[in-house]
Amino acid sequence: MATLTTIDGHEISFKPSSVVLITDHDTFTGAAVTCIYGIMKALVQTNEAAIDFMQRLRITNHFARLSRAGGWPIWVNGEAVSAVNAPLPNSYVDGVNSVVTIEGYTFGISEAPPVAIDAINRHGGKL
């Protein structure tokens, strides 16, 4: 088991393998905060830097580093990715060249599908 402290001071114990996606900015507000997906149904935010969090949990090798359309990094657990596809017309902001699906979450990224698939497969993906 691992633990983290949320930005509002709550401690959460969790299984490191449950982490499926990490961002260093909140997708909706743009705030510079580490966002952890997969631990709970709700998004979990912590002030611990994304890289420090992954290194502390020893999960760095499982995560492919990709880029959001705005240039912010996004780390995806290769084993958790179920699909990568080109976005449907007019469904994402400019700069989104691929959509990654992970446990019901979809995220637009700037990499083209073949580049994203290669990075994900190098980190445990099976696409």
Answer yes or no: is 127 within a domain. Answer: no
CA distance 19 to 71: 22
pTM, 2 dp: 0.93
Question: Under a CB-based contact definition with an 8 Å cutoff, are residues 12 and 6 in contact?
Answer: yes
Q: Between 92 and 10, where is the model more confident?
A: 10
Structure tokens at 66: 């990709």
Give tens-digit pLDDT for 94-125. 999 999 999 888 999 999 999 999 999 999 99
- For residues 22 and 63, the answer to whether their CB atoms sit within 8 Å is yes
First-to-last C-alpha distance (Å) of the chain: 29
Give pLDDT tens digits for 47-65: 999 999 999 999 999 999 9
Q: What value does the mean pLDDT take over residues 26-32?
A: 87
Contact (CB, 8 A) for 49 and 34? yes
Domain span holding position 46? 2-121
Q: Is residue 52 part of a domain?
A: yes
- The answer to whether residue 30 scores a pLDDT higher than 90 is no
14 lies in a domain? yes
Residue written as token pair 């088991």: 1
pLDDT digit string, tens, across residues 61-70: 999 999 998 8
9 is a domain residue:
yes
Please compute the mean of the pLDDT values over residues 81-94 and round it to a whole number: 94
**Is pLDDT at 84 greater than 90 in this prediction?**
yes
How many separate domains does the chain show?
1
Would you state the structure tokens that stand for residue 116, as one six-digit string?
Answer: 């994203």
